[in-house]
Amino acid sequence: MDTLTSFSFATVPTILSSPGATKALGQELRARFPNIRQVLIVTDQGFLRTGLADAPTASLRAAMFHVEQFADVIADPPEHVIEEALTLARQHEIELVIGLGGGSSMDVAKLVAVLAASSQSLSEIYGIGNVRGSRLPLVQIPTTAGTGSEVTNISIVTTGSTSKTGIVAPQLYADMAILDAELTIGLPAAVTAATGIDAMVHAIEAYTSKHKKNPLSDGLARQALTLLSRHLIRACENGGQDLAARQAMLLGAMLAGQAFANAPVAAVHALAYPIGGIFHVPHGLSNSLVLPHVLRFNAEACAEQYAELAMIVVPHAEGSVVARAEALAVAMQQFATITGLPRTLRQVGIAASDLDLLADDAMKQTRLLGNNPRPVTRDDAHALYKLAL
Ligand SMILES: NC(=O)c1ccc[n+]([C@@H]2O[C@H](COP(=O)([O-])OP(=O)(O)OC[C@H]3O[C@@H](n4cnc5c(N)ncnc54)[C@H](O)[C@@H]3O)[C@@H](O)[C@H]2O)c1
Ligand SMILES: [Fe+2]
């Protein structure tokens, strides 16, 4: 580690990790926000159907909060979802926003908190550092163990019909994140697997991030991978009962989020976004489909770092640095196999004739590609999709 390298690190100031914590959400927030009355919960229909939003909502009401709910978030949220949530927030003069759901709900919650009290429009804040002023108080409660959005300064919006565009700004860090595994206990195995692999990718890409890799994000990425790799299969196979595995997954995803908020993700995500945007493949699965191919491509530039991570994910791996880097790629592919996720682009309905479109779109993800340890040309992107086909 080069200790002379300059870096800065930021994260959410308060993190509460406690199974069952959201049953007392009202008391928790009343103690922190004594003068607030109007609260908006941002969630989606899928989570609402679990009934798990009932207890936190009742607890907020018992603590004298007036609770409005926006439950129309859809996966990979398009702009109109944010506008609708914003209209509701303004109508009810919302004073505090709670994201309760997966990355999609939390990303919408961030933008509502930022825009509700602002004269800026959504289109003005795309990109890095374009948010002006402050935001409404914001509390994030993940119900998937994946994106780490509860501790990142990033929000991802589907713009137009297919493109995924990021907003990155310090105002997007929440005031508080609450990790409560009781909310993830009913998460279906396929969603658990895909979102868990997304979290592992955050850790891997943070650890090899080209410009902002730093000692804090390295430590977080390693700890995240330890937790995620040891508990992913348990959470998929016995997630309905195994609260310890579920809390470990939430913790791992959050730590990976802290890592990549400060050492950003790269080509795996750049290649995954078009798959999600154009073909509506869930974000974690999109990552998983291209992951082994990008790892092998990148190994030419960062085999040493992959070999270090292999010692965490596959501690029995032996041999040269290159052999251990390859063991990491194999191990990541095995997570997809064991958990029954699709392994090829064809399995999710993508054909050879789609690869040009995907490659063109991936090249637009310049924010992400710039972080990749090895430069990616358009030909490289096309070849990587072909390997994944
Ligand atoms: N902001 C960031 O830092 C960041 C990082 C990575 C990804 N993302 C974005 O996050 C989004 C993906 O988020 P995600 O993978 O968490 O999925 P998601 O939020 O889209 O949810 C996926 C599905 O899981 C269901 N679900 C969620 N919690 C559940 C529960 N506890 N029980 C049963 N069903 C449940 C939802 O209803 C939904 O159908 C994408 O838009 C992606 O681009 C953001
Ligand atoms: Fe991701």
User: Which atom of ligand 1 is nearest the CA belonging to 164?
Assistant: 43
Name the one residue in this structure whose structure tokens are 């880097």: 325
Q: The tokens of 122 are what? A: 């959504």
Ligand 1 atom closest to residue 273's alpha carbon, by position in its atom list: 43
Please return the burial class of 296, using the count of CB atoms within 10 Å of its CB with bins 0-12, 13-18 and 19+: middle
Q: Using a 6 Å cutoff on CB, does residue 104 contact ligand 1?
A: yes
Alpha-carbon gap, residue 71 to 100, rounded angstroms: 10
Q: Ligand 1 atom closest to Cα of 104?
A: 19
Buried b / exposed e along 86-113 (16+ C-beta atoms within 10 A): bebbeebebbbbbbbbbbbbbbbbbbbb
Nearest CA owner, ligand 1 atom 13: 103
274 Cβ closer than 6 Å to some ligand 1 atom: no
pLDDT at 178 over 70: yes
Binned at pLDDT 50, 70 and 90, residue 349 comes out as very high
Measured in angstroms, how far is the CA atom of residue 214 from the centroid of ligand 2?
19
- Ligand 1 atom nearest 191 alpha carbon: 24
Q: How far is the CA of 103 from the centre of ligand 1 (A)?
A: 4
Q: Which residue's CA is the nearest one to ligand 1's atom 30?
A: 187
CB 190 within 8 A of CB 281: no
**193 and 339 Cβ atoms separated by less than 8 Å:** yes
The predicted model gives 362-380 an average pLDDT of: 96
| pLDDT at residue 139, as a whole number | 98
Higher pLDDT, 52 or 4: 52
Pocket test for ligand 1, best of 164, 167, 187, 191 (most atoms within 8 A of CB): 191
Burial class (CB in 10 A: 0-12, 13-18, 19+), 69: middle
Place of tokens 């040891």: 230
End-to-end, the C-alpha distance of the chain in Å comes to 37
Distance 269 CA to ligand 2 centre (A): 6
| pLDDT at res. 1 | 64
Over the Cα atoms of the chain, what is R_g?
20
Residue (of 102, 96, 15) closest to 50 by Cα position: 102
CA–CA distance, 25 with 263 (Å, rounded to integer): 31
Dist. CA 18–CA 31, nearest whole Å: 17
Which tokens go with 81? 């979802």
DSSP state, residue 111: H
Closest ligand 1 atom, CA of 195? 15
pLDDT (0 to 100) of residue 35: 97
pLDDT band at 287 (very low <50, low <70, confident <90, very high): very high
What is the tens place of the pLDDT at every residue in 228-253?
999 999 999 998 899 999 999 999 99
**Which pLDDT band holds residue 164 (cuts at 50, 70, 90)?**
confident
Instruction: Tell whether ligand 1 has an atom less than 6 A from the beta carbon of residue 202.
Output: no
Pocket test for ligand 1, best of 143, 200, 249, 285 (most atoms within 8 A of CB): 143
* Mean of all residue pLDDT scores within the chain: 96
Nearest residue by C-alpha to atom 17 in ligand 1: 102
Q: Which two tokens stand for residue 6?
A: 């300059």
Alpha helices in 145-242 (DSSP H): 189-207, 215-238
The Å distance, Cα 345 to ligand 1 centre, comes to 21
What DSSP assignment string belongs to 156-184?
EEEETTTEEEEEE-GGGS-SEEEE-GGGT
pLDDT of amino acid 3: 79
DSSP SS3 for 137: coil
- Supply the residue whose CA is at minimum distance from atom 37 of ligand 1: 46
Q: Are 6 and 34 in contact (CB under 8 A)?
A: no
Q: Does residue 100 have a pLDDT over 70?
A: yes
What integer pLDDT is reported at residue 214 of this predicted model?
96
Contact criterion met (CB below 8 Å) for 221 and 203: yes
Question: Residue 112 corresponds to which amino acid?
Answer: V
Average pLDDT over residues 95-100: 98
- Residue at 318: amino acid letter: E
Question: Using a 6 Å cutoff on CB, does residue 283 contact ligand 1?
Answer: yes
| DSSP code of residue 98 | E
CA–centroid distance, 102 to ligand 1, in Å, is 3
**Token pair 């935001």 in the structure block, residue:** 135
The residue-averaged pLDDT of 50-74 equals 97
Nearest CA to ligand 1 atom 38: 46
Cut 0.75: pTM above it: yes
Q: Which residues contact 251 (CB under 8 A, 6 or more apart)?
A: 17, 179, 227
State which ligand 1 atom lies nearest to the alpha carbon of 172: 1
Q: Tell me, in angstroms, the distance from the centre of ligand 1 to residue 160's CA.
A: 20
Q: Count Cα atoms within 13 angstroms, Cβ side, for 342.
A: 17
Q: Which residues contact 80 (CB under 8 A, 6 or more apart)?
A: none
